[in-house]
Amino acid sequence: MSVPQTVNLQEKFGLFTDQWSPKVVGELNGQQVKIARIAGEFEWHAHEQEDELFMVVRGKLRLKFRNGEAVVNEGELIVVPRGVEHLPIAETDETWIMMFEPASTLNTGNVTSERTVAELARL
Amino acid sequence: MSVPQTVNLQEKFGLFTDQWSPKVVGELNGQQVKIARIAGEFEWHAHEQEDELFMVVRGKLRLKFRNGEAVVNEGELIVVPRGVEHLPIAETDETWIMMFEPASTLNTGNVTSERTVAELARL
């Protein structure tokens, strides 16, 4: 078996420029580690069967919920439980996020739109 | 349902000082997010059923494997597949790590020693 390789997130973020298009940078226990560049507002959605972790690598993520909101700054993380509707927003600058979620998770959850990305690139 | 809360890792690390004693800061999909302060050498072990992700929040983690080694610096991560023996080392300063792994994962894996921590605190 080959030696496990270190993943440098800055380097991985440097490999693409498209926004709202998660890339897979790691897999474990049926879960995936994904990274994405985001800017502006996404769309309301929920994941019926999957809890989702967001961690901010650069910038600031605002998550709107139906009953409130949360702000996630660089070095912070948040877990959105399954079934909870959320709207991700990067208001100011482009924001870089890391996600940890089941491999089955679709970026738009229970909503299918032109922003749905079903086949994720692996970096 | 209450609004999901942001987790600030620096703040969580400030809540304890003991080393090699993972604390749970998040849970999702049967997995846990754990943080630990480490210094010096741990012990060789493997997790037979669990892949394990290490991310370095501060400092430097060296992971020895039977057939090589990897260095993980701040902002980098690594996935150690199940069954792979590894020896975590923080050689220089105290290092702060975050782990993603199944809730069932024991810090010393297949080895039980005085360093085994079975009941993890939640922060």
What tens digit of pLDDT does each residue of A37-47 get? 999 999 999 99
Angle at B12 between CA A59 and CA B108, to 5 degrees: 115
The beta-strand segments (E) located in B17-85 are 23-28, 31-41, 52-58, 60-65, 68-73, 76-80
**B65 residue type, one letter:** F
Helix (H) or strand (E) holding B98: strand B86-102
**Cross-strand pairs, A63:** A70, A88
List CB contacts (< 8 A) between B28 and chain A: 51-53, 79, 81, 100-101
Take residue A106 and report the two structure tokens written for it: 């679709």
Take residue B47 and report the two structure tokens written for it: 């997790």
The model's confidence at residue A3, banded by pLDDT at 50, 70 and 90, is very high
Other C-beta atoms lying within 10 Å of the C-beta of residue A110: 13
Residue B67 to residue A10, Cβ atoms within 8 A: no
Q: What integer pLDDT is reported at residue A110 of this predicted model?
A: 86
What is the secondary structure of chain A as a DSSP string? -PPPPPEEHHHHHTT---BS--EEEEEETTEEEEEEEEEEE---B--SS--EEEEEEESEEEEEETTEEEEEETTEEEEE-TT--EEEEEEEEEEEEEEEEETT--TTTT--STT---S--B-
Take residue B62 and report the two structure tokens written for it: 């060296």
pLDDT mean across residues, chain A: 95
Take residue B6 and report the two structure tokens written for it: 């942001």
- ipTM (interface predicted TM): 0.92
3-state DSSP assignment of residue B14? coil
Q: What integer pLDDT is reported at residue A89 of this predicted model?
A: 97
Take residue B70 and report the two structure tokens written for it: 């990897």
CA-to-CA distance for B101 and A13, rounded, in angstroms?
Answer: 24
The residue of chain B with its CA nearest to that of A50 is B29
Residue A52 to residue B101, Cβ atoms within 8 A: no
**Cross-strand pairs, B100:** B33, B53
The tens-digit pLDDT sequence of chain B (123 residues) is: 789 999 999 999 999 999 999 999 999 999 999 999 999 999 999 999 999 999 999 999 999 999 999 999 999 999 999 999 999 999 888 999 999 999 988 899 888 888 899 889 999
List CB contacts (< 8 A) between B33 and chain A: 53, 77, 79, 100
What tens digit of pLDDT does each residue of A24-37 get? 999 999 999 999 99
Q: What integer pLDDT is reported at residue A118 of this predicted model?
A: 85
Residue A70 to residue B9, Cβ atoms within 8 A: no
Give the minimum alpha-carbon distance from B13 to chain A in angstroms, rounded to a whole number: 12
Helix (H) or strand (E) holding B94: strand B86-102
CA-to-CA distance for B37 and B66, rounded, in angstroms?
Answer: 24
Interface with A, mutate which of B8, B28, B55 (most A CBs under 10 A) = B28
What tens digit of pLDDT does each residue of B3-29 get? 999 999 999 999 999 999 999 999 999
What tens digit of pLDDT does each residue of A72-96 get? 999 999 999 999 999 999 988 899 9
| pLDDT higher than 80, residue A109 | yes
Residue B53 to residue A26, Cβ atoms within 8 A: yes
Closest C-alpha among B86, B57, B62 to residue B72:
B62
